[in-house]
Amino acid sequence: MAQRGLLTEDERQLLFGVPRQQHLIIKHCTLSQDDLDMVLRKRGARNQLGFAVQLCLLRYPGFGLRLNEAPPREMLTFLARQLQVSPHVFEDYSRRPQTRLDHAAELMARLNLRPAMQEDWPLMLSVAAEAAWATDNGVEIVQAVLDWLRTHRIILPAPNRLERLARAGRALARRRAAEALLAPLTEDQLKAIDALLVNDATLKRTPLAWLRDIAEAPNSSNMTALLERLTYVRSLHISPGIVSRVHERRFQQFVREGSVAPAFLLDEYGVRRRRATLVAQIIELEAKLADAAIAMFDRLVGSLFTRARRRQERAYQTTGRDVSRLMRLFHSTITALSTARATCGDPFEIIDEEIGWSRLIKVQPQVEELAQLADGDTLVMAAAKFMTVRRFALPFLEAFTLRSTSRLNPVLAALNVVRDSLRSRRRELPQKPPMSFLPKTWQQLIMETGQPDRRLYETAVFAVLRDRLRSGDIWVEGTRNYQRFDTYLLPPASALSAIADLKAPDDADAYLAERSQLLEWRLKRFARGLSKNAVPGVSLRGEELHVTPLRALTPPEADRLDRDLDLLMPNIRITELLNEVAQATGFARCFTDLRDGRPADDVTAVLAAVLADATNLGIERMADASQGVTKAQLTWVHSWYLREETYKAALGAIVDAHQRLPLAALWGDGSTSSSDGQFFRTGRRSAGAGEVNAKYGSDPGVKFYTHLSDQ
């Protein structure tokens, strides 16, 4: 069975093709005075032009002129213009092959070039493997080999041989990376890794499928399930530190392959590759499960207080009529007391006559109940439902190692008290548990009876833990989203390198002082201009700053043209339009296989999967609505070909094609753009919607980033 190529046709043209674009021809085919002296010593216009062509091709791309090969017309025209000859004379150059060979030998000697020898191939393989250590991208691997050959002044071998060499280097890099990941593991660990693909009668599926099945709905049973999976993953004792043994991008390649490959496909991998992929999956799953568990803890604790506030609001709403009745009774009482004072009568007798003393005594419990409802704290109402959290509280606290900048953090001390209490199943807390981090009102509620209320205390501690995790004051070891803040910063060496590239000062105080002076100068300049009405479009009226709105530049005729163009557009099916755009722009080739980077063979399935994403139909409904593609095909394409980076590449291909249109150039060259985020409110929360947005509040919704260029 023939092996699939490493490069696409476009990539081969990019790496091995003779320059055709004007700027590349100028860069690689401009002859110096020494070049002209050497070329013009040849006899006859055809030999001069042929010699110049071979000279340029040996320099770039580095292959020389092959038998019966004609260079691009653009290149011939450019060289002929420099030699002041006709480009058509090149047609007679190859009539005598010996002349071409003699010229090639002379140029190799002058340029100090040599052909690739047998002893060069192991070195080229090593270069390819070193480049592939960090990437599977065929262009990057082949480019590294080409750079090595050009540095050592070696004429490039045939493209097919170089492509096979790069593919062998990639296979070697993959094998070395897999060996590096597996080297620290014991035989028992390897057996446990292999068992991940064996069906488990208890789980009724493979352990790997069970581990991947991560529930998102926040409830105690799903939290328990997350912690069970996390415990299972940690029982394999695979240290995340082995990630440092391979390149980050190579490790991520193992992770991405393992995340979409079903168990049956992983089972068909070679032993080394399968085990390495599973090891990467386990390391990734441990961090993913830990983050998911903490995020669910955040949502569960937050929901306790959210629901408590809602219950309080509903209680207020249901007591509206009672409050109105009691307020009227209170008004009548005040009126009776005012009458008694004005007439110097007995207030009790007047109240009894006009209102009825027994009536006042009867509503006393209702007044007290409403007063308690008004003064009630959400902590009390949240604690009433704390059993939801207590079901998983102990496993949660024992699953994670919490850290803080302070060694004597009172929150961590309180969590230790709660953990010990849950572990020993004691009903009572110590007489004076840590509470200095709690609000005074909560401390008073907890100690209201003289003994700490365990339910209120645990609720308060978990509420504060949620806030501290969000702020980063407390972090969790072994997570990705809840690490210590400085772990997200660049290492010192990388930071200094970035500062040097930006030409920014390495002293923060000096930088801030410099920017402050610049800001002050600009503000003063703006203030002077504003006081003299010298700022275009801006004026100061009293204490208000008025900015003149921009007027629309679109003339009324454009609106009529827009409507006329709409009428000219034919009715077309969305699938036909998508296929036509794919043919015109080539964006479908950007959806490449996750494993080998090859474009999909079934373009129809790719376009159907893209349309399923775009219309939110989903794979199954799209398969039902499509002809010629099945659900299995769409699922496979969606898993292996549709990713964030392939979508970005496809969008880039469309933008590039749009930019090449003559009509687009009428509006600009694409160098100016405007971008913004648009917030769309949704009817209910989903897994992708944010909890709270700093600008738009707590209403559920999703923010989309939009971009518009001057074209």
| Residues 601-624: tens digit of each pLDDT | 889 999 999 998 888 888 888 888
Q: Is residue 539 part of a domain?
A: yes
Give the model confidence (pLDDT) of 633-688 as tens digits.
999 999 899 988 899 889 888 988 888 888 888 887 777 777 777 776 655 444 44
Within-domain flag for 242? yes
Residue-number span of the structural domain to which 337 is assigned: 315-376
Confidence of residue 1 (pLDDT cuts 50, 70, 90): very low
Same structural domain, 282 and 199? yes
pLDDT band at 370 (very low <50, low <70, confident <90, very high): low
As a whole-number percent, the residues of the chain with pLDDT over 90 amount to 43
- Give 697 or 200, the one with higher predicted confidence: 200
Give the pLDDT band (50/70/90) at residue 395: very high
Distance of CA 577 to the CA centre of its chain: 29
Q: Check pLDDT > 80 for residue 461.
A: yes
Q: Looking at this protein, which amino acid is placed at residue 121?
A: W
Q: DSSP characters for 652-698?
A: HHHHHHHHTSHHHHTT--S--EEEEEEEEE-SS--TTS-S-BTTTBT
Helices 271-318 & 159-182 angle (0-180, nearest 10): 70
In a domain, 304, yes or no: no
Q: Which of 239-248, 332-341, 639-648 has the lowest mean pLDDT?
A: 332-341
Q: What is the mean pLDDT of the chain?
A: 86
| Residue 4 pLDDT > 70 | no
Same domain, 67 and 165: no
Q: What is the pLDDT of residue 697?
A: 58
Domain assignment of residue 115, yes or no: no
Is the same domain home to 144 and 55?
Answer: no
* 418/430 Cα distance (integer angstroms): 10
Residue 196's pLDDT band (cuts 50, 70, 90): very high
- Residue 279, pLDDT > 90, answer yes
Find the helix packing angle between 347-354 and 320-343, rounded to 10°: 140
pTM: 0.75
For residues 452 and 421, give the distance between their C-alpha atoms in angstroms, rounded to a whole number.
13
CA 274 to chain centroid: 26
Q: Which of 406, 408, 415 is nearest to 433 (CA)?
A: 415
Q: Write out the two tokens for 461.
A: 């501690």
In a domain, 78, yes or no: yes
pLDDT at 276 over 70: yes
Could you give the CA distance from residue 274 to residue 263 in angstroms, rounded to a whole number?
A: 10
Going along 9-166, which residue ranges are E strands?
none
**How much is the pLDDT for 316?**
61
Q: What does the pLDDT average to over 425-448?
A: 89
Residue 709, pLDDT above cutoff 60 = yes
Q: Do residues 626 and 649 share a domain?
A: yes
Distance CA 643, CA 610 (A): 11
Give the residue from 136, 158, 181 where a domain finishes.
181
- Tell whether 268 is covered by a domain: yes
Do 176 and 193 share a structural domain? no
The yes-or-no verdict on residue 582 having pLDDT over 90 is yes
In a domain, 381, yes or no: no
Q: Are residues 596 and 577 in the same domain?
A: yes
Stretch 549-576: mean pLDDT:
86
> What is the pLDDT averaged over residues 40-56?
91
Average pLDDT of the residues in 227-231: 95
pLDDT (mean) for 395-420: 91
Q: Please give the structure tokens belonging to residue 195.
A: 């068992």
Residues 174 and 227 in one domain: no
pLDDT of 317 reads 64
Check residue 315 and give its pLDDT.
Answer: 64
Residue 454 neighbours by CB under 8 Å, 6+ apart: 421, 427, 428, 429
Maximum mean pLDDT: which of 238-247, 341-350, 367-376: 238-247
Whether the pLDDT of residue 287 is over 90: the answer is yes
The reply to whether 421 and 368 lie within a common domain is: no
Token pair 């702020």 is at which residue?
A: 471
- Do residue 15 and residue 86 come from a single domain? yes
Total domains present in the chain: 8
Q: How confident is the model at residue 319 (pLDDT cuts 50, 70, 90)?
A: low
Q: Are residues 417 and 461 in the same domain?
A: yes
| Burial class (CB within 10 angstroms; exposed 0-12, middle 13-18, buried 19+) of 578 | middle
The answer to whether residue 620 sits within a structural domain is yes
Task: Mark whether 560 and 654 lie in a shared domain.
Answer: yes
Residues 644 and 701 occupy one common structural domain: no
> In the predicted model, is pLDDT for residue 700 greater than 70?
no
pLDDT tens, position by position, 463-516 = 999 999 998 899 998 899 999 888 888 888 777 777 777 777 778 888 899 899
What's residue 690's pLDDT?
43
In this prediction, residue 176 has a pLDDT band, given cuts at 50, 70 and 90, of very high
